[in-house]
């Protein structure tokens, strides 16, 4: 779309209009090529203003094209930008909303840049496993300080246009409409007779760029994402090679990384996180109840974390515990959290005060429920206890109030029937620490109404978390799968591995924390209680006795200073006492302990996740495989560059996953390796999880 602004003849306005985010797909690249060529030829045009429609400059390349090398290279964005930069007439970018990735690179190709105060810019390519492939690594360090260019290209974070670290990027920051300001800017440069000013013609002083780059290399390499080394190499080119050579190498390196498994995984994660909000039955018309006041019942670790998350998101919070001492302790802990935030300069005193004012403590459950739009119970994980609490809340709460349970394993339907409003009961399963972990499983019970579900999802998004809808089953998506993962981790100890070997293998593979360190952090007593319950419910599903032996010795994990490791503060130290216990247990099973290599450790733990994930999918507990991936990425420290367990299995090939499982069937506790019917079928037919 192009317009010549009235009264300002000589300025050609070119607008990128490709909703929703003005990504730079082939059609847009064609339009830009056409319109800039016509601007060059038209003697009436003295300057060009480039803007984006709908309040956004551009969110960059069309990521969906990345799976198709031919689509990317057709009218390559870098070449389009080069042509714009080489125009003989001045070009002004009007940066509104966002200029991300290729969008920022496009603005950098323009000769002048005017931005709205609220605009945000970034080079997020690294988060998608690629690098800025349209001149970003060469032009950005010629516009701003080199160290900041490194930070942006290797970190991908969004920066406000007015941030002083971006000095040099914009010629003008406006409080008003950036398009209008850019047109006025263009009129002025025409009047002043100012011609194009090209970043490609600027030189970069080797000092202090070299030192900044060396520090970045030391900090970021080696890196499991190949794009990281590539982007640092391109930044090095920006210092040492001429602009054209740097640009050519950037394009080559982009082509090399765009097809790597890590890039595919990161792009899968990007789309999976957006897909997750598409839920059958929920449309923009589904009524969402207004929620401002939240009551959190239970002042334990979860209750505190949920309260902080809700306060941070602007809700009024009443934290309830019938035990006054427990409540006092929790309020004290929340206060000390905010004090620390202020001390560490992560929060201003005024903001902390504002949050404190929205927090009330209460020992009166009914009074708190009466005032709340949403109640989240986080009391002891026991069906009877939770049913009683929910019944009391139901009796006191107003007719529209939603009752949410933070249960991690219990039957939400059985909890809902304890109330007179099963349609307004929903699971909201937070992950510890609840103010930090991004995941919330939103559990849709048999009776949960669409409006209740939509409201819970809206609250989760206001909490700036990712809500994944799950059906009712023991453990929902995440913990149901985790059970199989942990089972294998424990069996590995039975057979020959030591805790640090199991954790080490999985951590080197990319898990944020190995399973045994994770259980030490979560508290081994919690798993112990669940296993006790399951032993009654499912006596034919054996567990290794090792975690029970650990618990019997009072080794509940970090909180008791000892678990699978001993602890020096938070530091896990392998403990000979545990090694001896593990060896003794193996001997009691009649095992000659064997050396187990990292590959087997990883395959057994990860394929156990995949196999149960397939059952979760087949049972309709998760809506789609990519939702399972989001659960593991956002809640369990699964490496993003592996895309989540289901994506990873697709990458390995489901046939190969099943073949490995068949091998494990011959070994210890082999009966756990029966492939789920869905996985078996997909492997047979050469299919993938969708
Ligand atoms: N390409 C293709 N689709 C994109 C896209 C892109 N660059 N950016 C967003 N979308 C899609 C989303 O998938 C979503 O689609 P659905 O509605 O079908 O789910 C839709 O646009 C809206 O996106 P969001 O839900 O994320 O909307 P938002 O308002 O919350 O956020 C945004 C908008 C900040 C732009 C965010 O979408 C975003 O961060 N996008 C990615 C930006 C990015 O990484 N750009 C770099 C691309 S790589 C590059 O440019 C390489 C290069 O050098 C050539």
Q: Does 638 map to a domain?
A: no
Classify burial at 207, counting beta carbons within 10 Å of its beta carbon; exposed 0-12, middle 13-18, buried 19 or more. Answer: exposed
| Statement: residue 274 has pLDDT above 50 | yes
CATH of residue 607: 1.10.1040.50
Distance 63 CA to ligand 1 centre (A): 8
Q: Which of 445, 470, 495 is the last residue of a domain?
A: 470
Query: pTM (2 decimals)?
Result: 0.94
Which residues have C-beta atoms less than 6 Å from ligand 1? Answer: 20-21, 23, 59-64, 77, 98, 100-102, 105, 124-125, 128, 130, 132-134, 136, 271, 274
At 71 the pLDDT is 87
Classify burial at 669, counting beta carbons within 10 Å of its beta carbon; exposed 0-12, middle 13-18, buried 19 or more. Answer: middle
Q: Which of 470, 500, 518 is the last residue of a domain?
A: 470
Q: Does 376 map to a domain?
A: yes
How far, in Å, CA of 427 to CA of 292, rounded? 19
User: What is the domain count for the chain?
Assistant: 3
307 and 162 within one domain: no
Q: Does 163 map to a domain?
A: yes
At 4 the pLDDT is 47
101 and 36 within one domain: yes
Q: Does 629 map to a domain?
A: no
At 359 the pLDDT is 98
At 5 the pLDDT is 54
Reference 688, options 630, 617, 640; nearest CA is 617
Q: Which of 470, 489, 507 is the last residue of a domain?
A: 470
At 436 the pLDDT is 93
Active site residue: 35, 85, 125, 483, which one? 125
Retrieve residue 523's tokens. Answer: 């508290």
Give the Å distances, CA to CA, from 22 to 54, 79, 165, 182.
9, 18, 26, 19
| Statement: residue 2 has pLDDT above 50 | no
HSE (CB half, 13 Å, CA atoms) of 621?
Answer: 23
In testing the pocket of ligand 1, which one of 18, 58, 63 has its CB within 8 Å of the most ligand atoms? 63
**Mean pLDDT, residues 539-548:** 89
CA angle 560, 565, 566 (to 5 degrees): 55
Q: Does 631 map to a domain?
A: no
* Residues recorded for the chain: 690
105: annotated active-site residue: yes
Nearest CA to ligand 1 atom 38: 59
| Statement: residue 149 has pLDDT above 70 | yes
493 and 428 within one domain: no
**Rg of the chain in Å (alpha carbons):** 28
Reference 114, options 191, 166, 169; nearest CA is 169
pLDDT tens by residue, 291-317: 999 999 999 999 999 999 999 999 999
CATH of residue 392: 3.40.50.720
Give the Å distances, CA to CA, from 450 to 447, 454, 624.
9, 6, 19
423 and 498 within one domain: no
439 and 315 within one domain: yes
Tell me which residue range forms the domain holding 253: 2-257
At 194 the pLDDT is 97
How far, in Å, CA of 179 to CA of 52, rounded? 9
pLDDT tens by residue, 434-451: 999 999 999 999 999 999
Distance 76 CA to ligand 1 centre (A): 19
At 437 the pLDDT is 93
At 527 the pLDDT is 87
Which helix (H) or strand (E) segment holds residue 520: the answer is helix 515-522
Distance 54 CA to ligand 1 centre (A): 14
298 and 190 within one domain: no
| Statement: residue 29 has pLDDT above 50 | yes
Give the atom of ligand 1 at the shortest distance from the alpha carbon of 271. Answer: 13
501 and 448 within one domain: no
pLDDT tens by residue, 396-436: 999 999 999 999 989 999 999 999 999 999 999 999 889 99
pLDDT tens by residue, 62-104: 999 998 888 889 999 999 999 999 999 999 999 999 999 999 9
CATH of residue 200: 3.90.226.10
Q: Does 272 map to a domain?
A: no
At 7 the pLDDT is 54
| Statement: residue 617 has pLDDT above 50 | yes
Q: Does 286 map to a domain?
A: no
At 3 the pLDDT is 52
387 and 245 within one domain: no
How far, in Å, CA of 634 to CA of 638, rounded? 8
DSSP three-state, residue 254: helix
Give the atom of ligand 1 at the shortest distance from the alpha carbon of 278. Answer: 19
Active site residue: 65, 105, 484, 612, which one? 105
pLDDT tens by residue, 464-477: 999 999 999 999 99
576 and 447 within one domain: no
Per-chain mean pLDDT for the chain: 96
454 and 305 within one domain: yes
| Statement: residue 373 has pLDDT above 50 | yes
Provide φ and ψ at 477, rounded to 5°: -85, -60
Give the atom of ligand 1 at the shortest distance from the alpha carbon of 124. Answer: 44
Q: Does 514 map to a domain?
A: yes
| Statement: residue 619 has pLDDT above 70 | yes
355 and 304 within one domain: yes
380 and 305 within one domain: yes
Residue/partner pairs of 123-126 with CB below 8 Å, 24 or more apart: 123/152, 123/153, 123/156, 124/60, 124/100, 124/156, 124/158, 125/60, 125/101, 125/153, 125/156, 125/227, 125/231, 126/153, 126/154, 126/155, 126/156, 126/225, 126/227, 126/228, 126/231
At 578 the pLDDT is 98
How far, in Å, CA of 133 to CA of 105, rounded? 9
């Amino acid at each position: 779309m192009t317009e010549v602004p009235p009264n300002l003849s000589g300025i050609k306005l070119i607008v990128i209009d490709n909703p929703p985010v003005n990504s730079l797909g082939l059609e847009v690249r064609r339009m830009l090529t056409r319109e800039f060529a016509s601007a060059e030829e038209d003697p009436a045009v003295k300057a060009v203003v480039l803007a984006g429609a709908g309040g956004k400059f551009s969110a960059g390349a069309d990521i969906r094209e990345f799976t198709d090398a031919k689509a990317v290279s057709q009218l390559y964005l870098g070449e389009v930008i080069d042509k714009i930069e080489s125009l003989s007439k001045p070009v002004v970018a009007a940066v509104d909303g966002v200029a991300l990735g290729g969008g920022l690179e496009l603005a950098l190709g323009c000769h002048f840049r005017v931005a709205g105060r609220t605009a945000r810019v970034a080079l997020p390519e690294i988060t998608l496993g690629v690098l800025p492939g349209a001149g970003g690594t060469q032009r950005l360090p010629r516009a701003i300080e080199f160290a900041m260019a490194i930070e942006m290209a290797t970190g991908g974070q969004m920066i406000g246009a007015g941030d002083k670290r971006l000095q040099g990027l914009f010629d003008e920051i406006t409080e008003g409409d950036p398009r209008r300001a850019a047109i006025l800017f263009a009129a002025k440069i025409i009047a002043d007779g100012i011609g194009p000013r090209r970043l490609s013609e600027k030189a970069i002083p080797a000092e202090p760029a070299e030192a900044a780059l060396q520090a970045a290399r030391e900090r970021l390499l080696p890196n499991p994402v190949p794009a990281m080394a590539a982007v640092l190499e391109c930044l090095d080119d920006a210092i040492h090679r001429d602009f054209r050579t740097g640009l050519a190498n950037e394009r080559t390196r982009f082509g090399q990384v765009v097809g790597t498994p890590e890039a595919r995984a990161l792009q899968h994660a990007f789309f999976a996180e957006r897909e997750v909000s598409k839920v059958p039955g929920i449309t923009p018309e589904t009524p969402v109840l207004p929620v401002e006041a939240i009551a959190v019942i239970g002042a334990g670790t979860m209750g505190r974390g949920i309260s902080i998350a809700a306060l941070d998101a602007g809700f009024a919070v009443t934290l309830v515990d019938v035990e006054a001492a427990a409540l006092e302790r929790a309020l004290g802990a929340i206060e000390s959290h905010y004090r620390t935030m202020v001390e560490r300069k992560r929060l201003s005193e005024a903001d902390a005060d504002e949050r404190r004012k929205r927090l009330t403590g209460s020992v009166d459950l009914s009074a708190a429920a009466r005032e709340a739009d949403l109640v989240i119970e986080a009391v002891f994980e026991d069906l009877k206890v939770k049913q009683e609490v929910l019944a009391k809340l139901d009796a006191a709460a107003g007719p529209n109030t939603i009752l949410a349970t933070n249960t991690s394993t219990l039957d939400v339907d059985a909890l809902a029937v304890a109330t007179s409003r099963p349609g307004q009961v929903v699971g909201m399963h937070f992950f510890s620490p609840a103010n930090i972990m991004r995941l919330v499983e939103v559990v849709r019970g048999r009776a949960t109404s669409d409006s209740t579900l939509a409201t819970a999802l809206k609250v989760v998004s206001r909490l700036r978390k990712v809500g994944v809808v799950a059906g009712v089953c023991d453990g929902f998506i995440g913990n149901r799968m985790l059970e199989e993962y942990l089972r294998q981790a424990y069996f590995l100890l039975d057979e020959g591995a030591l805790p640090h070997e199991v954790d080490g293998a999985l951590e080197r593979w990319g898990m944020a924390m190995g399973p045994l360190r994770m259980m030490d952090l979560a508290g081994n007593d919690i798993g112990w209680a669940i296993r006790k319950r399951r032993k009654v419910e499912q006596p034919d599903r054996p567990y290794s006795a090792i975690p029970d032996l650990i618990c019997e010795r009072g080794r509940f994990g970090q909180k008791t200073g000892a678990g699978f490791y001993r602890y020096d503060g938070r530091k896990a130290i392998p403990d000979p006492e545990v090694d001896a216990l593990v060896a003794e247990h193996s001997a009691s099973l009649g095992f000659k302990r064997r050396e187990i290599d990292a590959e087997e450790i990883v395959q057994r733990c990860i394929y156990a996740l995949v196999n149960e994930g397939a059952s979760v999918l087949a049972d309709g507990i998760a809506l789609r495989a990519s939702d399972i991936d989001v659960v593991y990425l956002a809640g369990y420290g699964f490496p993003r560059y592996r895309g989540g367990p289901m994506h990873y299995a697709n990458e390995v090939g489901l046939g190969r996953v099943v073949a490995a499982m068949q091998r494990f069937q011959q070994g210890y506790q082999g009966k756990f390796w029966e492939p789920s019917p869905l996985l078996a079928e997909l492997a047979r037919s050469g299919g993938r999880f969708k």
